[in-house]
């Protein structure tokens, strides 16, 4: 199986209230030293081994169904699932 991981994060200029909430909750946890928390999405797309052009296919999927280009950026990472075989 071949996997492409799509990572979708809000653009840096877009406020992330959910991340702010986590950051503001840290003092209560007694955790110090965190400057910033940003919460995005991580999507695992698993392809049949015989599928070609998985990276460009994943790019189309991300473009159309996973990320909103106005507010989000995404990156693609092809993972080699056979690396441990």
To 10 degrees, the CA torsion angle through 37, 38, 41, 42? -60
CB 77, min distance to a copy of itself, A: 11
Number of residues that bind a copy of itself (CB under 8 A): 52
Distance from chain centroid for Cα 82? 22
Nearer to a copy of itself by Cβ, of 33 and 85: the residue is 33
Residue 76 in contact with a copy of itself, rule: CB under 8 A: no
- Alpha-carbon distance of 83 to 77, in angstroms, equals 15
Measured CA to CA, the distance from residue 39 to residue 52 in angstroms comes to 31
* Nearer residue to a copy of itself within complex by CB, 49 or 85: 49
DSSP state of 14: S
Q: How far apart are CA 65 and CA 59, in angstroms?
A: 10
Selected from 55, 71, 77, 81, the binder of a copy of itself by CB under 8 A is: 71
* Using rule CB under 8 A, residue 84 touches a copy of itself: no
Residue numbers of the site for a copy of itself (CB under 8 A)?
Answer: 1, 7-9, 14-29, 31-48, 50-51, 54, 57, 60-61, 64-71
């Amino acid at each position: 199986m071949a996997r492409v991981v799509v990572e979708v994060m809000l653009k840096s200029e877009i406020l992330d209230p959910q991340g702010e909430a986590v950051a503001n909750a840290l003092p209560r946890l007694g955790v110090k030293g965190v400057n910033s928390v940003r919460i995005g999405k991580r999507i695992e797309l698993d392809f049949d081994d015989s599928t070609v052009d998985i990276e460009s296919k994943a790019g189309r999927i991300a473009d159309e169904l996973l990320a909103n280009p106005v507010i989000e950026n995404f990156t693609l990472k092809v993972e080699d699932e056979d690396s441990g075989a």
